[in-house]
Amino acid sequence: MNAPRVGIAVFIIRDGKMLIGKRKGLLGTGSWAPPGGHLEFGETPEACAARETMEETGLVLRDIRHAAFTSDVIDGTKHYVTLFLTAHADGEPRVCEPDKCERWEWHTWDELPQPLFPSLQHLKETGYRPT
């Protein structure tokens, strides 16, 4: 059964820029996306955002807030409802999962590198802007 999955993506905002990573792995290799991952059973979106960000970047989140969501079929085989959140963090990110992310960079919303991961591209096309 191809049931939709819930993904979490976190816009970590600092000095007018957001953290974005170049993906590696099975889905979206070479595309850019914020930290995030799959929501686990019983987990809140905020807890998932904090867990995934720590696992991927080593950063501790604060001021986590709900932002937006998208519903996307990716590669014609996977359906994701992605919950986007915003947050802040101190320090610099590390590549803690080198099999999943090549590097982390800070970019403004208007100058994000391409290509974007499909859910992020969809969100950008709606006119949403993280604050």
Residue 131 forms part of a structural domain: no
pLDDT in tens, 45-92: 999 999 999 999 999 999 999 999 999 998 888 999 999 999 999 999
Residue 44 forms part of a structural domain: yes
Query: How confident is the model over 27-37, as a mean pLDDT?
Result: 95
pLDDT at position 1:
57
Amino acid identity for residue 121 in this structure = Q
Residues 6+ positions from 64 with CB-CB distance below 8 Å? 10, 46, 49, 50, 85, 86, 87
Query: What pTM does this model have?
Result: 0.95
Residue 130 forms part of a structural domain: no
Domain that holds residue 95: 5-125
Angle at 84 between CA 80 and CA 90, to 5 degrees: 135
Tell me the CA distances in angstroms from 80 to 55, 68, 73, 91, 122, one per residue in order.
21, 14, 6, 30, 12
Confidence band, pLDDT 50/70/90 cuts, at residue 94: very high
Residue 78 forms part of a structural domain: yes
How far apart (Å, rounded) are the C-alpha atoms in residues 131 and 127? Answer: 13
pLDDT at position 103:
98
Residue 90, domain CATH: 3.90.79.10
Task: Provide the mean pLDDT of the chain.
Answer: 96
The domain total for the chain is: 1
